[in-house]
């Protein structure tokens, strides 16, 4: 197995050894404080000058995190989190494919000051113009510039490329780890799309990447300018999908990931996708954002959400 496909021991322990989660979320009281923190407190940190032009990190949230909650409930949670950047999915009533229902959702988000930067995961199960066009129209109506695509067949990519050129909307193919029939790792995506339009790239899911045996930091460098979206999560065991925990409680090499994104001058969003405890996600979501913001502050990187 090549070096690029291995996760080194020092990467697995880096977060624990260098920047302990206890610095940011050391007790239930601190979690409660993070939940109630004012916009002014977060704004001060967000306005800090970055170490360099490439070091600003944009933090968002994947709406799948709140898949068991309505759009109204999720909007309330986003305001409490001081997160106004959303990667929306057609789950519950978050961003319905139906035109009228989508318009109502967009009006709600606009009223709340929430901006949609991506949509997905959207599946392209048919190699047909009408089906593919409907999904590009869905995102065009929402003013979304990145489609996070799940499991498109390789033979469908040339047809998708035609619509990427027509709509000027980027496609970010999401890797889903060892269970995925095609896209185990970002490297699989990169090999398939590197000869296509530069607006066809990758959504790197860091959890699925490490479970595929791929070094996530080296994958970010390899995919480079074709990284269009990042799904952030943490695991306590890189071989176990069920080991997901709040960001900072596992062994994901967070500082190295942020450093790699800065190095490639990544301009997209790092979207928290917290998939565990779907009926009560807020404690883990609060802890995850507190930890990510703390790590970024320790690196003297600007963050915005």
3-state helix, strand, coil split of the chain in percent (to 5) is: 50, 15, 35
Please give the structure tokens belonging to residue 238. 């890189």
In this structure, what is the dihedral angle of CA atoms 189, 193, 194, 197, given to the nearest 10 degrees? Answer: -140
Distance CA 223, CA 172 (A): 12
Q: What is the pLDDT of residue 181?
A: 85
pLDDT of residue 131: 96
Torsion angle of C-alpha atoms 138, 144, 145, 150, degrees rounded to 10: -60
Chain centroid offset of residue 52 CA: 23
Count of residues in the chain: 305
Token pair listed for 18: 């260098």
**Predicted local confidence at residue 43, as pLDDT:** 37
Instruction: Give me the pLDDT at residue 106, please.
Output: 98
- pLDDT for 305 equals 80
CATH number at residue 91: 3.20.20.150
Structural domain count of the chain: 1
User: Which residues of the chain fall short of a pLDDT of 50?
Assistant: 1-54
**What integer pLDDT is reported at residue 113 of this predicted model?**
97
CA dihedral sign of residues 103, 105, 111, 116? negative
Residue 245, domain extent? 3-304
Write down the pLDDT at residue 55. Answer: 58
Paired tokens of 192? 């398939």
Instruction: Give the per-residue pLDDT at 222.
Output: 97
């Amino acid at each position: 197995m090549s070096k690029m496909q291995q996760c080194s021991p020092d990467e697995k322990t880096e977060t624990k050894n260098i920047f302990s989660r206890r610095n940011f979320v050391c007790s239930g009281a601190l979690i409660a404080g993070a939940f109630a923190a004012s916009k002014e407190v977060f704004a001060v940190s967000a306005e800090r000058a970055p170490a360099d032009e490439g070091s600003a990190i944009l933090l968002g949230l994947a709406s799948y995190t709140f898949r068991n909650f309505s759009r109204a409930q999720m909007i309330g949670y986003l305001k409490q989190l001081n997160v106004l950047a959303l990667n929306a999915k057609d789950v519950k009533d978050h961003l319905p494919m139906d035109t009228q229902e989508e318009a109502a959702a967009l009006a709600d988000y606009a009223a709340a000051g929430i901006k949609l930067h991506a949509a997905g995961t959207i599946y392209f199960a048919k190699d047909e113009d009408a089906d593919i066009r409907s999904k590009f129209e869905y995102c065009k109506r929402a003013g979304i510039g990145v489609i996070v695509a799940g499991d498109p067949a390789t033979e469908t990519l040339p047809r998708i490329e035609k619509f990427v050129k027509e709509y000027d909307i980027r496609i970010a193919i999401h890797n889903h780890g060892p269970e995925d029939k095609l896209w185990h790792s970002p490297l699989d995506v990169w090999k398939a799309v590197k000869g296509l339009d530069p607006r066809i790239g990758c959504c790197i899911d860091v959890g699925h990447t490490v479970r595929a045996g791929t070094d996530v930091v080296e994958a970010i460098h390899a995919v480079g300018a074709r990284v269009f979206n990042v799904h952030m999560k943490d695991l306590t065991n890189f071989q176990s999908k069920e080991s997901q925990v709040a960001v900072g409680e596992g062994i994901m090499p967070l500082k190295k990931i942020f450093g790699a994104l800065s190095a490639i001058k990544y301009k997209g969003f790092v979207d928290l996708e917290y998939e565990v405890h779907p009926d009560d996600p807020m404690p883990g979501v609060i802890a995850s954002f507190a930890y990510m913001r703390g790590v970024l502050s320790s690196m003297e990187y600007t963050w915005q959400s």
